């Protein structure tokens, strides 16, 4: 009887150890599987969410800063370039903004969410929606990255902080600071370029 009890206890210990190891491994795998990255191309006006395998999980057209070049100071209408982090996803459904076009405070200027980026030296930079969907695909913002509202709402279901965001310059951004165009060598994955021409429904 004691022998059977010992065997049972040994099996129970082995099972508990297996469960603990399995849980630990699942947590590690989960972190790897969620090691996604957002790549924003000012050249192709595209935002791409890419996983650790290099697969594109999400792709959408964007609008970026009105002015060419890397952000230098508050109010220069430039979208920053480099590697940043998503630090928060905020409910912006009740936020308003005055674009200084004589129309005053605009409701829904940011869509439902504001994906806040940590940009050293600059505040208020993020990824958000729009009240002017026809602006998507153009240089139209004050420095933020603008998405169609439907795309924004889809994106926030796929990400959570902290998340790396890479913003790459366009040829004109490079030219504006005296760099030769060929220095901008980033190329979007083919699937993203083809998807960008699909009509939204």
Q: What is the mean pLDDT of each run of 10 residues along the chain (201 residues)?
A: 54 49 47 76 97 93 97 94 96 88 82 96 95 95 97 97 95 82 43 40 33
Q: Which residues contact 45 (CB under 8 A, 6 or more apart)?
A: 61, 62, 63, 64, 136, 137, 138, 196
pLDDT at 190: 42
Work out the number of other CB atoms within 10 angstroms of the CB of residue 196.
Answer: 17
pLDDT at 179: 62
Spatial distance between the Cα atoms of 70 and 79, rounded to a whole number of angstroms: 6
pLDDT at 150: 98
Q: Tell me how far apart the 2 most distant CA atoms of the chain are, in Å.
A: 89
pLDDT at 106: 81
Q: Is the peptide bond before 134 cis (omega within 30 degrees of 0)?
A: no
Work out the number of other CB atoms within 10 angstroms of the CB of residue 162.
Answer: 10
pLDDT at 157: 97
pTM of the model: 0.73
pLDDT at 104: 78
The first and second tokens of residue 125, run together, are 């930079």
């Amino acid at each position: 009887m004691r022998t059977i009890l010992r065997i049972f206890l040994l099996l129970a210990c082995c099972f508990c150890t297996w469960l603990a190891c399995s849980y630990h491994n699942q947590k590690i795998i989960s972190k790897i599987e969620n090691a996604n990255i957002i790549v924003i191309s000012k050249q192709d006006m595209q935002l791409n969410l890419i996983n650790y395998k290099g697969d594109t999980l999400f792709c959408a057209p964007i609008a970026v800063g009105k002015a060419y070049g890397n952000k230098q100071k508050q109010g220069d209408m430039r979208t920053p370039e480099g590697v940043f982090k998503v630090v928060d996803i905020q409910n912006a459904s009740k936020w308003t903004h005055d674009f200084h076009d004589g129309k005053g405070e605009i409701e829904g200027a940011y869509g439902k969410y504001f994906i806040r980026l940590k940009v050293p030296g600059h505040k208020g930079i993020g990824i958000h929606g729009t009240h002017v969907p026809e602006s998507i695909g153009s240089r139209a913002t004050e420095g933020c990255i603008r998405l169609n509202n439907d795309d924004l709402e889809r994106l926030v279901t796929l990400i959570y902080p902290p998340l790396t965001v890479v913003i790459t310059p366009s040829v004109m951004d490079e030219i504006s600071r005296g760099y030769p165009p060929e220095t901008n060598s980033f190329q979007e994955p083919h699937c993203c370029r083809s998807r960008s021409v699909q009509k939204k429904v």
